Amino acid sequence: MYKTYENKFLFRSLAAGLLTGIAVLLLSISIGLYSRNLPFTLQGIFELHKNIPFLWIIDFLPFGLGLLFYYGGHIFSQKLSETRTMLNNELSKSQKTLDFTQQLIQDQLSAEFEVGEDDQIGKALINLRDNLLKNKNIEILRRKEDDQRNWVAEGLAKFSEILRKNNDNLNDLAYSIIHNLVKYVNANQGGFFILQDQEEEEKYFEMSACYAYDRRKFADRRIDWGDGLIGTCALEKKTIYMTNVPQDYVTITSGLGKATPSCLLIVPLIVNDEIHGVLEIASFKKFEPFEVEFVEKVAESIASTISTVKINVRTARLLKESQEQAEVLASQEEQMRQNMEELQATQEEAARQNAKFISFTNSVNHTLIRAEFLADGTLIYANNKFIQKLGYNDKVDVEGRQVSMFINKKDKDLFDQIWKEIIRGNEHFEGDIKLQTRQGKDLWTMATLTPQKKDNEVDRIIFLAIDTTDQKKQSLDFEAQIEALNRSSLKAEFTPDGDILDCNEKFLLTFGFSPDEISNKTIFDLISREEINAFKEIWENVLNAVPFQGQLKSITKANDEKWFRGTLSVVNDMYGEVSKVIYIANDITKEKLMEIESQYQTEQLKIQEEKLRQAGADLSRKLEKAKAEMALQYKEVEKVKIRNERTLEGALDAIVTINQEGRIEFFNKAAEDLWGLPRKETIGMNVKVLFSEANIQEDEFTKSYVTPGAQKFIGQRKEIKITNKNGDDIPVLFLLSEARVDDENTYTAFIQNIEVELF
């Protein structure tokens, strides 16, 4: 269409030229004929040409004017075409910018937009899109992190409640944990392995619970210590997370067949660097890092609960065994006392009734360990029980030997002291004596050392004893276990009225009392005031043979609140009446405070989430308003930009704009004429191409202008030399101005050609 219009315009220009030439020709001939009174005929016209030869040139005027009008129309048409092309380009760029702005308003942040070197608005829109996209990604990431934290907090609170409710039966606790854990992490199968370490030389893991596909599984699976991935996890005390599970390791079965899971998570149950079990979870989906961290945190709480349950069970068992052993020892002591009384009576009777001595001696040899020593410690007689218990074969192996041969070196000083006391004529010794067998083993005895005098001097010493090695080992083991209990747990004994009878060091340290201060306290003084009524009911139930196991909130000397998980159980006397109440507990204040803090944080997160939702709605409304305002501002800016560019483009002085890096951003028509360089070749080039190297080095004004970052002479009118396309130096007047937008500077130079002004 534009080509057709251009052809018509050229044809009209040619016709106008021809017609104008013909009109001038006719007018000239008419005037000439009229002025010379010649007729308007061919003869008159020919005669006129003879008189005025210049008319021959006028005759060619129609052709000359036609060609001139045609050439002028052609030039005008080209200029019009260039102007139309420039307007179309600007209109297209403005439409693209408007379309891109509409896409940003519609939140289409992935939209692409091509930006020219001198399109500052386009660059600003690109920066706006990038910032909006960055803020959106940050918001998505923050919401994801908030969701993960909420998920972890809710999970920890949920499993804390599970552990609190199911801490009296390990099997029920194991199933409840693995059942809820598999569901909560959206896994497919899980197993709960508890370490069985009652016998140190034979430790193994027993599967206490197994859960898969919403159904409880019953499996009898035992894994020896150190075997497989379960054993490796326990040995290394580290989590094992596998995403490449061996085909033959574990299989998940459904109605459609069998399949190997995609990933396997094995987490040790550790508390105080001590293993109590292992969790194993299999899933077709991979676990996120925060899910693995959540399972590890749950595992810590599980381990702490299992440790407490084990301690409570072990404590109850040890207490029962200790009571039974105490009764046995009391019975044995009574029997020993009776035997010793009978033995002493027998000895006295033997002095009076020598005839019965042999019968008595045989009876003693069958029931007691017996030996006789001289005052210097030489063994002169030993019965069969002495020889057998000490691991010898015959009397020859022991008779004539010193008593020190049967005493351990560690016990020698104590035994020598007892022996010296007897030699000095003191009364006989009665108590525990530890002997050493031929094989180096300890033989514990309940013994008497009775001196026999001759001429008021100790002549010999009779040794009588009963083997109590087994009972002594049990007693020492019980004492060690009770000592371990005292180190790991709080222990106190109370009367039925609540008065404190005894307590261990850990109990005193935890409550902050001295032994004298605690002696005047009752258990009711240590209970929180708001819990006292409920505790009195618990105390009555305990006295009525209903043991208590659970949590109690207590008050220390400093009025600090502490939480304990423990047991209250009674000890009955020989008449079946309550003689005392034993309290064994562990401090769970940190865990309880964490549970309370977790609940508080969950509530705060819900409140913050609501605030964020409201803030998001307000932000959306403000963003819509800002988008509308930005669209209006963009239109105004576009108008100003077009107006400024057209004004600068039409200026008579050369105008050049550079950025802070020294790149040319604007080069008007006057600048093109001054330097003889087309705009397309200069835009984006370094400003140094407009000056010679010699002028740059010689003139400080020019050097600062072309050097990025240098301090420039702003607002000073300065005469300098520029270098045109042909290499000629041209003197000009140079005025430099500065504009700053955000962190970017642009410099605009207004240049006047001195030669033109002088001309």
Question: Do 558 and 694 belong to one domain?
Answer: no
H or E stretch covering 672: helix 669-675
- Residue 329 — pLDDT band, cuts 50, 70, 90? confident
Residue 759 confidence (pLDDT) above 50: no
Question: Residue 399: how many CB atoms within 10 A of its CB?
Answer: 15
Instruction: Name the domain count of the chain.
Output: 5
Question: Do 639 and 662 belong to one domain?
Answer: no
Q: Which residue type occupies 736?
A: L
| Helix ranges (DSSP H) in 52-168 | 54-59, 61-105, 120-165
pLDDT in tens, 692-721: 888 888 888 888 888 988 888 888 888 888
- Which residues are within 8 A (CB) of 482 and not within 5 positions of it... i.e. 6 or more apart? 318, 322
Q: Is residue 416 part of a domain?
A: no
What's the confidence (pLDDT) of residue 6? 62
pLDDT in tens, 593-652: 787 777 877 788 788 778 777 877 777 787 777 777 777 776 776 676 677 667 677 777
Q: pTM of this prediction? A: 0.33
Residue 36 near residue 48, CB atoms below 8 Å: yes
Q: Is residue 149 part of a domain?
A: yes
- Which residues are within 8 A (CB) of 153 and not within 5 positions of it... i.e. 6 or more apart? 598, 601, 602, 605
pLDDT in tens, 407-441: 888 888 888 888 888 887 667 788 888 888 888 88
Q: Which of 256, 291, 306 is the last residue of a domain?
A: 306
Question: Do 292 and 158 belong to one domain?
Answer: yes
Question: Residue 138: how many CB atoms within 10 A of its CB?
Answer: 10
The token pair at 357 is 């001595």
Q: Which domain holds residue 697?
A: 650-758
DSSP state of 424: T
For 547-564, what is the mean pLDDT? Answer: 86
For 507-515, what is the mean pLDDT? Answer: 87
Nearest CA to 364 out of 379, 382, 377 is that of 382
Question: Do 608 and 536 belong to one domain?
Answer: no
Q: How many CA atoms lie within 13 A of 656 on its CB side?
A: 32
Q: Report the C-alpha gap between 447 and 370 in whole angstroms.
A: 10
For 201-207, what is the mean pLDDT? Answer: 80
Q: Which residue type occupies 49?
A: H
Q: Is residue 297 part of a domain?
A: yes
pLDDT in tens, 256-301: 345 667 788 898 988 888 888 888 888 888 888 888 888 888 888 8
Q: Is residue 200 part of a domain?
A: yes
Q: What is the CATH number of the domain that holds 158?
A: 3.30.450.40
Number of H helices, E strands in the chain: 21, 24
Question: Do 97 and 119 belong to one domain?
Answer: no
Rounded to the nearest integer, the mean pLDDT of the chain is 79
pLDDT in tens, 363-403: 566 668 888 888 888 998 888 888 888 889 888 888 888 88
- Residue 214 — pLDDT band, cuts 50, 70, 90? very low
Q: Which of 43, 76, 103 is the last residue of a domain?
A: 103
Question: Do 158 and 70 belong to one domain?
Answer: no
Question: Do 160 and 301 belong to one domain?
Answer: yes
State what percent of residues in the chain have pLDDT above 70.
82
Q: Could you give the C-alpha distances from 294 to 121, 163, 326, 574, in angstroms and in order? A: 49, 15, 47, 52
Q: Could you give the C-alpha distances from 258 to 56, 188, 249, 665, 679, in angstroms and in order? A: 112, 13, 13, 69, 74
